[in-house]
Each structure stands twice: as structure tokens, then as C-alpha cells.
Amino acid sequence: MNRLIASRPLLVLAALAALLVAIPPAQVDAQAKHARTHAREQRHSSSPQQTAVTKPQETINAWTVGLAGGLLEGAPIHFAAEMARVVDDGDNLHVLPVVTRGPTENVNSLLYLRGIDAAIINSDSLDEYKNQVPDIQHKIAYVLNLFPSELHVFVRPEIQSLADLTGKKVNFNTLGTAAAYSGPLIFSRLGLDVEKTFIPHQVALEQMRRGDGGMAAVVFITAKPVDAFVRGRFDPGFKFLSVPYNNKLEDYYLPSTLDATDYPNLIKQGEHLETIAVPTALVAFNWPTNSNRYERVARFVEHLFSRLDKLQGPGFDPKWKSINLAASVPGLTRFPAAQAWLDSHTHGSQASQ
């Protein structure tokens, strides 16, 4: 009797196996297909409340452009925020400025970070990617040459020339800033071997004032005038050094000057110091022209270019007034939609300078 009871589960399993064998494979497949179809119908037969949740999600994402700006305290994120304000068009265009690790890291964000369509970068950031991404000039295109970031080499009284900095301590601001990337790159091209530090500039400037720690110079790379030098008070002899423009710098940089109109307390009237500038550019990923991502950036470009006059008005950074829509960016080609806009607005492509 016990053996009969114990064998019942085996008999049941055998009967089920026989039943499964008896069902044709086509019928099994059809049942599985029916089950999958039924599950899909259940998912899609959502209530009115569920539909109301899905629709805004689709709407808000349809024309949203992710714009990598930079560090929260930097100028690029400020420009990104102003652009976003002006081009905003409700459901038709929403530009989302993103705080990142800085304009150098923004190339990385544009290449690899999901949701990023455009970015503000320093032109020499591309130098780092020459070996990693040999065809980077085809992956990234420029929309607009925004503004130059001038090189400021500010030194103690005993330093008279760039050569005097050899072996001395020079601060390039904190990692992630334009100075921390472009500064050492420029010094290397000029053949200047210095002891590099990466501490906050206000700390380095205080060390320079006191003459302790051996800090001989600070290197700023940002749009002039720099508030620290306009408002700051320095003992006689503290000064900017001249940095001549030469063929070692012409691939990414532009010639520029510093004068008394920029820093009346540090530069004599009528004196012009040579320096170089790092172009800061608005760039976009070079999406295929038949893609939705390309259409988003194209709409962003059209809104930005056609509303530039608003950016040049009250309430926005004065640097917008010097923007030249037709200006190129060394090492890159223009985003096709931007070139098309310029071609169709020949007479209005250049802003006041």
C-alpha cells in the first residue's frame, strides 16, 4: 500500500510528460505566442491616468537638448544658462544646461555621456583626444565661437620674463579648470619647465603676496577682465608677463593683448602686453542629418542664432555683444545646420564687434 502511494507522483509526472508529447509543437508555439500577446495587451491597455503620465514624458523629451556647461563657478555654465533662457520655447525646445567637471571634460561628455547633444569646450581640449579618437574632427562640429579666454601670467616682482619661471613654482588653479588643462599644455609648447601646483588661485595669490611657499606666478585662463586683478591690490612690481604668439601656438590659439582698459591698476596707459587666447566654442555631436538628435540641435541653432539680439540686450553678459556668428574655430568644421543658417542670412550673420 505504501509503495502505491509513493509511486503516485511518478505516475502523475509520467502522464503529464505523455500529454506534452501528444501536443504538436506548433500548438505549443501558438500558445506561447498567445500568452505573450495577451501580456502585451494587458500592458498597453492602461487607464486614462497612466496615459496622462506617459504623454508628458514623451513631450518633454522630444525637443530637449542636453548642453554640457562646466564647473558651477566657471564662465561656460553661465553662458549655457543664458542660452537656455533665450532659446526656451516650451514644448518646442528645452535646453538643459548640465554642470560638469569643466570645459575640457566636456569633450568626453559629448562623446560618451547619454543625453548630451552639445557642449562648451576650449578648442585645445581636442589635443588630448588625437590618439584616443583619431577621427574626432568628424565626430564633433562647432556651432559658435563664443569668446576668447585670455592667458594671464601674473608674477612676483623678481620675475622679469617667462624664462625666469624655469624651475619655479607656478599655480594653474584647481584640476578641471581651463587653466589646469591649457596652462601646462601652453607652457610645454613654449619649452617652460616649471614646478606645477593645482591649488585654488586665491590661496596661491595670498602666498605670492606674502612671499612664502616659493610661489612665483599664477596662470589664469579666462575672459578678461579678471575680477581678482581688477579689485585686488598688489605691491609695486607685481605684473603680467608678455606671451608672444608664434607658430607653436597657431593650431588652437589666437593672438590677444592685455592693456590698461582691462587692468588700470597693473598696466600703464598706452601699454599693450602680448598674450594668447584660447577660443571657447559651442560644439555639437555630429549626428546624422536624418536623425532626431540632429533635428533637435538644428532647432536649437535656429533659435539661438535668430535670437542673438536678445542675448546682446540688458540682463545678459556683455560679452555677447562681441560674438561674431561667422567666426570659425581652429581645427573643426561647422555644424551643417549652423552653416545653412548663415548661408541663408548672409547680411545678418555678423554681430557687432
Query: Which candidate, 329, 339, 334, 336, places its Cα nearest to that of 126?
Result: 329
Is the N-terminal amide bond of 336 cis, ω within 30° of 0?
no
Question: Sign of dihedral through CA atoms 62, 67, 72, 76?
Answer: negative
Query: Which candidate, 283, 237, 276, places its Cα nearest to that of 139?
Result: 283
> 59-146+281-348 in CATH: which number?
3.40.190.10
pLDDT, position 140? 95
Q: What ranges do the domains of the chain cover?
A: 59-146+281-348, 148-279
Confidence of residue 347 (pLDDT cuts 50, 70, 90): low
CA distance 281 to 55: 35
**Through-space distance between the first and last CA atoms of the chain, rounded to whole angstroms:** 104
Question: If you average pLDDT over every residue of the chain, what do you get?
Answer: 84
Fold of 148-279: D-Maltodextrin-Binding Protein; domain 2 (3.40.190)
Same fold, 59-146+281-348 and 148-279: yes
Structure confidence by residue, pLDDT tens digits, 302-336 = 999 999 999 999 999 998 998 999 988 877 899 99
| E-assigned strand segments in 16-139 | 64-70, 94-99, 118-122
What is the CB neighbour count within 10 angstroms for residue 313?
11
Structure confidence by residue, pLDDT tens digits, 2-14 = 444 444 444 443 4
Structure confidence by residue, pLDDT tens digits, 244-295 = 999 999 888 999 999 999 999 999 999 999 999 998 999 999 999 999 999 9
CA distance 156 to 205: 10
pLDDT, position 35? 40
CB-facing half-sphere around the CA of 236: CA atoms within 13 A: 0
Name the percent of the chain lying above pLDDT 70: 83
Q: Which residues contact 18 (CB under 8 A, 6 or more apart)?
A: none
CA distance 352 to 344: 19
DSSP assignment, residue 272? E
DSSP 259-320: ETTT-TTTS-TT-EEEEEEEEEEEEEE---TTSHHHHHHHHHHHHHHHTHHHHTSTTS-GGG
Cell of 218: 599664477
Structure confidence by residue, pLDDT tens digits, 74-107 = 788 999 999 999 999 999 999 999 999 877 789 9
